[in-house]
A = this chain, B = another copy of it.
Amino acid sequence: MSSPRELAAILFDLDGTLYTAEGPIPGAVEAIRILRASGLAVRFVTNTTTRSRRALADRLRRMGFTAAPEEIYSPPWAAGRFLRSRQARAYLLVPEGAREDFEGVPFDDQRPDYVVIGDLGEGWTFERLNRAFRLILEQGAGLIGLGRTRYWRAADGLRLDVGPFVAALEEATGRKALILGKPDPAFFRMVLEDLGEPPERMAMVGDDIEIDVGGAQAVGMRGILVRTGKFRPADLDGPIRPDAVLSSVAELPAWLG
């Protein structure tokens, strides 16, 4: 493996890695500034499906980070890009906040090429799920899942994310979904393609050993684990070996040397 000095780009997970509900991880804003100044490309890779790239960039900027919408890779970005490149029509069951990443994709609830599902929360109804099911089974539409996250922790407790609804439609139709989110290789390959760099020149930094570190390593990138966010010491007892384990993202400039 190449030395850290040969890296061209660093990809950062967002929640738990650059910030938490309390605000930025101490030293994170400065770390990103230092890396950019050193000439490294900085990108952000998140499984969030409820906000557009623009809204995510705005949020990072409000916390003090430098970030442009084009630097953010998310499931809605990947799905929008995938659909536009195929000039495909889609039935979108995605959160309102992510819709702008699908600009240019014709909406079609009768004969779409793809059904795209995200974390709809209370927006899920039997009628919507059943319509998606019929479009896939009877019209032959493909199924795209904006990631396969099982659940997340909201203020009032755990909430189902997109994964269980992907599973429901897979079970009903007997077809496999295309998952465009971490840790799926199809998603990481789209990021690589967009950056135009070989995987060995990229590192992914995140707090999830499976989704961030394992996902990145599976396509040949380096995977760096931070001990913030959802990190638990037991994460290091599993089969995935991070290329580095850092106290937090603030240590990254020193580690890169």
A151, closest chain B residue (CB): B172
Task: State how many copies of this chain the complex holds.
Answer: 2
Q: For the complex, what is the distance from the CA of A158 to the CA of B134, rounded to whole Å? A: 7
Known: A126-B123, A133-B151. A167 touches B171 (CB 8 A): yes
Known: A126-B121, A133-B151. A158 touches B170 (CB 8 A): no
Interface size class of A (residues with CB under 8 A): 20 to 34
Q: Is the CB of B172 within 8 A of A150?
A: yes
Q: Mark A146-166, 1 if CB is under 8 A from B, else 0.
A: 000011000001111001111
Q: Is the CB of A133 within 8 A of B172?
A: no
Q: CB within 8 A of A122: which of B122, B126, B157, B172?
A: B126
Residues of A107-147 whose CB lies within 8 A of B: 120-127, 129-130, 133-134, 137-138
A45 at the interface (CB under 8 A from B): no
Known: A124-B126, A126-B121, A126-B123. A163 touches B159 (CB 8 A): no
Q: CB within 8 A of A167: which of B122, B125, B133, B170?
A: B170
Known: A126-B123, A127-B122. A158 touches B137 (CB 8 A): yes
A92 at the interface (CB under 8 A from B): no
Q: For the complex, what is the distance from the CA of A87 to the CA of B189, rounded to whole Å? A: 53
A192 at the interface (CB under 8 A from B): no
Q: Is the CB of A171 within 8 A of B158?
A: no
**Residues in chain B near residue A150, CB distance under 8 A:** 171-172, 174
Q: For the complex, what is the distance from the CA of A120 to the CA of B150, rounded to whole Å? A: 22
**Residues in chain B near residue A121, CB distance under 8 A:** 126
Q: CB within 8 A of A158: which of B122, B123, B133, B159?
A: B133
Q: How far is the CB of A129 from chain B (nearest CB, A)?
A: 6
**Residues in chain B near residue A244, CB distance under 8 A:** none
**Residues in chain B near residue A56, CB distance under 8 A:** none
Q: How far is the CB of A214 from chain B (nearest CB, A)?
A: 17
**Residues in chain B near residue A203, CB distance under 8 A:** none
A157, closest chain B residue (CB): B134
10 interchain residue pairs of minimum CB distance: A167-B171, A164-B168, A168-B168, A164-B172, A124-B126, A167-B167, A164-B171, A122-B126, A150-B172, A130-B160
A-B contacts, 6 listed (Cβ < 8 Å): A123-B126, A124-B125, A126-B160, A133-B160, A138-B157, A165-B168
